[in-house]
Structure 1
Amino acid sequence: MRISATVAALSGALVLSAFAVPAAQAAGSDAGSYRSDAAKIREAAHAASGTSAYTASTVASPAADEPYPLNVTFSNVKVHSGKPIVVGAAAHVSVPVTYTLTHGADVDITADDFASGPYLYKGSFANPSNMLFGQDAGTCTATSATVASCKATIDIYPAEGDLTNTDAGAWKAGGEAFALNGQDPTSSSFDITKVGFADQGGFASPNVTRLSKLTVNATPEPVKKGKTITVVGKLTRANWDANNYTGYSTQPVKLQFRKKNATTYTTVKTIKTTTNGSLKTTVKATVDGYFRYSFAGTPTTAPVNAAGDYVDVK
């Protein structure tokens, strides 16, 4: 089951669904409550307005079946300290986010049923193709009567279907906040019009990239000086569609060498991976040292260096 949203157009309105939290990830009731409450409010707001933009400055007045625009805005959103978000085939990735929350004097951010948090979205703000959220609401510390400094995490579970291979690359960040004002979203008497909601996007985010792996093996070991050394390896990357690692084809990879007792590698040559990600080349044996392959990465795939393989030259 996907944690993130799937998006569909229905009668011209943007409808966000499939926000259920898998039982394995909802061990804490607070986390499950935050995710489910936010999903219900978000879906009602977006379905009624027909757009993801839902702030006090952009929504003149709420409809009879949507929350009212909460006087909250976001700024200074910083995702993962600006570093690429590298996600493997299965392991959970927790992405730290900091942001500034500015609110009206009528908004009590210390209330038990007020919550805010960041998210990531792929594609346009009005019509995202995928969204990633945190399991828990952000924690905020007031810096003035109407401004707070906040931090939170966005949780990515590739093994639960959060990502597909087409999701690798550029994303944007957003923030949302809601005030339940005593309303219980699980109650049959839940009145959505008494709930405040704010949603804001367009913030910068680093790329979400596929974790890569790289191997190297130089033979024979030991080898006589002047003889040929064959260096093989393989470049693979996380396959989010199948939750495994598959070869990364036709990618330039550097063969590098470091002399024994030296501290830096120098590039010997650059070769490309085969259709299944394999690497193979030859060099002449000169001095003792370490061979490795080095991949610089792409906008969709993280860089990686293989561990050096030592060759003793006789």
Structure 2
Amino acid sequence: MRIRATVAAVSGALALSALAVPASHAADSAWSVQAQAAKTAAASGQSVSSAKSARAADAAAADLGVTFSNLKVAKAIKVGAAGHYSTTVTYTLTHGANYDLTSDDFANGPYLYKGDFETPDTVLFGYDAATCNATSTTTANCSGKIDITPGEDDLLNVDAGKWSAGALALQYSTGDVSDQGALGTTLVQRLSKLTVNAAPEPVKKGKTITVTGKLSRANWETNKYAGYATQKVVLQFRKKTSSTYTNVKGITSSSTGTLKTTTKATVDGYYRFTFAGTTTTPAVSAAGDYVDVK
């Protein structure tokens, strides 16, 4: 679940308008809504409660004194055109001895942000708060999820690429918060697809076959898959008696992502295209297409 707004010094009713949440998320837990409010309010020097009251707009947010360390997040999160995607984030939470992590008044969780920590372009939270297991009177091992639903405007195509990880702790009754960034990085990528078809088959030994296919990736704004243009793709071949593919030749996808090349058929085997990936789009290989050589 995301907030998409430049975090600025806001107050009163204006702060609430910056926290608009898609209607489809109306059933989200208190955590997902309050955490977004806290992230926005923390950067403006307010508490969440002050962001909800014009009369208290000048109240400063108190730092809970909670810190986060040892955060671990997946190297890449591959997100399709629609549906629900989530990834688990773990970290160590350190807190004052007077805190009760099981209290209904306290919650914490991880998030991802694109851009600057103080004024992020986009922030992705989980639907629910993290769960924590105490390891001492002041430390706990915590695990939380980042939830992404591209069909509900969580992402724009320009959001693909490197994201940073942070974590946030919140006291609901006061709106006070501890917010820490630069805990790790990950790639949020537009899921890729690759197809192949080798023809004709069967084919006489030494004759030319034509291999076609298409490289496409998720478009988070249309919620469909679209061709990935002008990308380097390699045609590979695997003999029927082998388990290893070898490179045949490299080609470039067209302006619509289509692929087409030719090669000589010499022995029975499988042809496929493979794409090495980019920071915005993960690597992918097509399933091999078998050609029977007579």
Fold shared per TM-score above 0.5: yes
TM-score for the superposition, normalised by structure 1: 0.85
- Structure 2 CA distance, aligned partners of 1:70 and 1:34? 17
SS in 1 for 2:244: coil
Task: Quote the residue 1:58 is aligned against.
Answer: none
Deviation (angstroms), 1:251: 0.6
Task: Quote the residue 2:45 is aligned against.
Answer: 48
- Structure 2 CA distance, aligned partners of 1:153 and 1:41? 18
SS in 1 for 2:34: helix
Residue in structure 2 matching 1:93, options 85, 109, 117: 85
One-letter identity of the residue aligned with 2:134: A
Task: Quote the residue 2:50 is aligned against.
Answer: none
One-letter identity of the residue aligned with 1:48: G
Number of aligned residues: 283
- Structure 2 CA distance, aligned partners of 1:205 and 1:253? 27
One-letter identity of the residue aligned with 1:44: A
SS in 2 for 1:35: helix
1:300 is the counterpart of 2:280: yes
Residue in structure 1 matching 2:226, options 246, 264, 269: 246
Task: Quote the residue 1:111 is aligned against.
Answer: 103
Task: Quote the residue 1:8 is aligned against.
Answer: 6
One-letter identity of the residue aligned with 2:32: R
1:209 is the counterpart of 2:189: yes
RMSD of aligned Cα (Å): 2.2
One-letter identity of the residue aligned with 2:98: D
One-letter identity of the residue aligned with 1:151: S
1:155 is the counterpart of 2:147: yes
Deviations 1:109-146 (A, max 9, x none): 12122100000000110111111000000000000000
The question of whether the paired residues in 1 share the 8 Å contact of 2:163 and 2:185 is answered with yes
SS in 1 for 2:196: strand
- Structure 2 CA distance, aligned partners of 1:276 and 1:36? 40
- Structure 2 CA distance, aligned partners of 1:163 and 1:274? 26
SS in 2 for 1:43: helix
Residue in structure 2 matching 1:141, options 133, 140, 143: 133
Deviation (angstroms), 1:161: 0.6
Task: Quote the residue 1:186 is aligned against.
Answer: none
SS in 1 for 2:31: helix
Task: Quote the residue 1:313 is aligned against.
Answer: 293
Deviation (angstroms), 1:48: 2.9
Deviations 1:8-62 (A, max 9, x none): 3656889683452544x555xxx42112222333333333359xxxxxxxxxxx9
The question of whether the paired residues in 1 share the 8 Å contact of 2:164 and 2:182 is answered with yes
Deviation (angstroms), 1:107: 2.1
- Structure 2 CA distance, aligned partners of 1:10 and 1:200? 17
- Structure 2 CA distance, aligned partners of 1:9 and 1:96? 25
1:77 is the counterpart of 2:71: yes
- Structure 2 CA distance, aligned partners of 1:97 and 1:284? 49
SS in 1 for 2:29: helix
Deviations 1:60-106 (A, max 9, x none): xx9852431101000011112xx311001002111110010000122
- Structure 2 CA distance, aligned partners of 1:11 and 1:176? 19
The question of whether the paired residues in 2 share the 8 Å contact of 1:7 and 1:15 is answered with no
- Structure 1 CA distance, aligned partners of 2:256 and 2:9? 45
SS in 2 for 1:170: strand
Task: Quote the residue 2:52 is aligned against.
Answer: none
Deviations 1:205-234 (A, max 9, x none): 221111000000000010000111000000
The question of whether the paired residues in 1 share the 8 Å contact of 2:7 and 2:120 is answered with no
1:20 is the counterpart of 2:21: yes
CA separation of 1:64/1:105 partners in 2, compared to 1, >3 Å: closer, same or farther? farther
CA separation of 1:296/1:151 partners in 2, compared to 1, >3 Å: closer, same or farther? same
TM-score for the superposition, normalised by structure 2: 0.90
- Structure 2 CA distance, aligned partners of 1:12 and 1:64? 10
- Structure 2 CA distance, aligned partners of 1:298 and 1:19? 33
CA separation of 1:134/1:75 partners in 2, compared to 1, >3 Å: closer, same or farther? same
CA separation of 1:92/1:43 partners in 2, compared to 1, >3 Å: closer, same or farther? same
Q: Identity of counterpart residues, as a percentage?
A: 55
Task: Quote the residue 1:171 is aligned against.
Answer: 163
Residue in structure 2 matching 1:286, options 266, 275, 284: 266
The question of whether the paired residues in 2 share the 8 Å contact of 1:226 and 1:286 is answered with yes
- Structure 1 CA distance, aligned partners of 2:249 and 2:79? 29
Deviation (angstroms), 1:241: 1.7
- Structure 1 CA distance, aligned partners of 2:157 and 2:38? 29
